[in-house]
Homo-oligomer: A and B are copies of this chain.
Amino acid sequence: MSRKTSDIKFFFNPKFIAVIGASPAPGKISNAILENLKRTGFSGVIYPVNPKYKSINDLRCYSSISEIPCDIDISVIAVPSTVVLETLKDAGKKVKGAIIVSGGFKEMGDNGKRLEEEIKETAEKNEIRIMGPNCLGIYDTVSKLDTFFIQADRIKRPSNGGISIISQSGSFAATIMDELASKGIGVARIINYGNRIDVNESDCLEFLADDEATKVVALYIESVDDGRRFIDVASECTKKKPVVAVKVGRRNAGVNAARSHTGAMTGRYEIYRAAFKKAGIREVDGYEEFKDACRILNIHSRGKGKRVLIITDGGGIGVNIADACENYGLRVDELREVTKNCLTSKLPPFCSIGNPIDLTGSVTDEHYITALEEGLKNGFDIAIVTVLWGPPQLTERLVDKLKEAMQRHNTPIIVCSPGGEFTKRINSLFEGKGIPVFSTPESAVRAAAILCSKRI
């Protein structure tokens, strides 16, 4: 089978979808998929397939794919693993691609592996591209496809945005999706290909490289199918947009876990690191950094360099951020004398003028803006603005003032605001204005390090 971008493009722009094993029973995977397609507003035609029913959710139900009167772009298969093969045989050449959400294959041992091989053979013969098995498939805010069969009241769906995620792990994809949705961060496409008997990370990356809806790609990788092709495709993609990746299953424990998870052989971690580096992919360290990267790259694109200006109203947290900057390889250079003198004249005497600029607990909204405007004249590449909400003179108006300041500057400004309920309420105001707020010094610095990376 030739592997070209055009081969999988139809997965992201389907007109005709069949749902195999469709059921009217709430709680069934196939029912959740039908409901999702309705909820997201999928505008194509849906064909439920199940010999047991004449109609499901007001849609005519077909007894088999062969009965459907037209060709199908995607057949979503949610039947027991032992029935999948039959379904593909029945599809013949009527179907371009299948998303096999069913589990019970390679991850279950030798029998499952044999089943997979037979499926692969049939799919190749019938020229059907396969996503899965053992996967959630595609959540797509552009084509309004949602085969993630998890209930939307448990796992929220993000709105439309510029991030696309490729994840071998379904649970990772779903959890990150839910986190991003809760932060109001939009996505373009989320793809989970599970056992990967055909469509793999390279296919997806090649598609996303040319996908206009995708501004940033974030990859969760247990293993890579074809290392050479991956590096080629990734190198092309990183020329066009930032790509971050987390590699899990790195050492002994993780490797064993990954093998039983998607049957993946994870290979030596060092090889992956070298491949990422070669392809210009920014490696992230795990779930936390993956999340931080998605959040910051949602707003800011490539940074210029590593020089960080720190502004704070709490000295201790300022020092903590300075430490974390050094841990993550960022530079916290001193302010120039002229800037120091200017800030000394413009800010009250209790402020500590340096980097960090410490505005102390007597801070006002306006002090932040003064510090930011003057500080940024020193050519910093990024500013981390820590706002602790204890100081009584700080008001919610700071949110708008910082938003305006951000619009005046090309330099990325990252807000760090740790705390409890009051803080979290104001943080949601920031997020409502599209300003990412990080709730620990370390996460703010991780985000800055992502932006300052040469490989973003």
A286 touches B392 (CB 8 A): no
Query: With an 8 A cutoff between CB atoms, is A161 at the interface?
Result: no
Bound-complex Cα distance A171 to B322 (A): 15
Picked from B171, B256, B314, B420, the residue with its CB within 8 Å of the CB of A313 is B171
Query: With an 8 A cutoff between CB atoms, is A110 at the interface?
Result: no
Query: With an 8 A cutoff between CB atoms, is A164 at the interface?
Result: no
Q: Mask for A398-411, Cβ within 8 A of B = 1, else 0?
A: 00000000000000
Bound-complex Cα distance A315 to B319 (A): 38
Query: With an 8 A cutoff between CB atoms, is A172 at the interface?
Result: yes
Query: With an 8 A cutoff between CB atoms, is A326 at the interface?
Result: yes
A248 touches B155 (CB 8 A): no
B332 touches A253 (CB 8 A): yes
Query: With an 8 A cutoff between CB atoms, is A419 at the interface?
Result: yes
Query: With an 8 A cutoff between CB atoms, is A434 at the interface?
Result: no
- Contact partners of A27 in chain B: CB under 8 A: 392
Given A107-B352, A421-B156, A422-B153, check contact A314 B169 (CB 8 Å). yes
Picked from B155, B257, B314, B422, the residue with its CB within 8 Å of the CB of A171 is B314
Q: Mask for A346-357, Cβ within 8 A of B = 1, else 0?
A: 000110101110
B319 touches A222 (CB 8 A): yes
- Contact partners of A324 in chain B: CB under 8 A: 286
Minimum CB–CB distance for A365 against chain B, Å: 15
- Contact partners of A236 in chain B: CB under 8 A: none
A178 touches B442 (CB 8 A): no
Bound-complex Cα distance A135 to B391 (A): 14
Query: With an 8 A cutoff between CB atoms, is A325 at the interface?
Result: yes
- Contact partners of A420 in chain B: CB under 8 A: 155-156, 178-179, 181-182
The quantity of this chain's copies bound in the complex is 2
B257 touches A319 (CB 8 A): yes
Picked from B172, B256, B291, the residue with its CB within 8 Å of the CB of A314 is B172
Picked from B312, B319, B392, the residue with its CB within 8 Å of the CB of A254 is B319
Given A250-B323, A250-B326, A253-B322, check contact A169 B316 (CB 8 Å). yes
Query: With an 8 A cutoff between CB atoms, is A151 at the interface?
Result: yes
Picked from B287, B320, B323, B352, the residue with its CB within 8 Å of the CB of A442 is B287
Which partner residue on chain B sits nearest A252 by CB separation? B326
A356 touches B257 (CB 8 A): yes
Which partner residue on chain B sits nearest A316 by CB separation? B169
Which A residues between 378 and 411 are near B, CB-CB below 8 angstroms? 388-392
Bound-complex Cα distance A132 to B350 (A): 16
Number of A residues contacting the other chain (C-beta, 8 Å)?
88
- Contact partners of A418 in chain B: CB under 8 A: 175, 179, 287
Q: Mask for A135-172, Cβ within 8 A of B = 1, else 0?
A: 00000000000000011011110000000000111111
A315 touches B262 (CB 8 A): yes
Given A287-B418, A361-B170, check contact A104 B355 (CB 8 Å). no
Given A103-B350, A261-B319, check contact A326 B251 (CB 8 Å). yes
- Contact partners of A155 in chain B: CB under 8 A: 389-390, 419-420, 422
Which partner residue on chain B sits nearest A250 by CB separation? B323
A253 touches B355 (CB 8 A): yes
B422 touches A154 (CB 8 A): yes
Which partner residue on chain B sits nearest A266 by CB separation? B319
B287 touches A172 (CB 8 A): no
Bound-complex Cα distance A312 to B254 (A): 13
A residues sitting closer than 8 Å to B (CB atoms) are 27, 103-104, 107-108, 150-151, 153-156, 167-175, 178-179, 181-182, 220, 222, 246, 248-254, 256-258, 260-262, 286-288, 291, 310, 312-320, 322-327, 331-332, 334, 349-350, 352, 354-356, 358, 360-361, 388-392, 418-424, 440-443
The 3 A-B pairs at the shortest CB distance, nearest first, are namely A169-B316, A171-B314, A182-B420
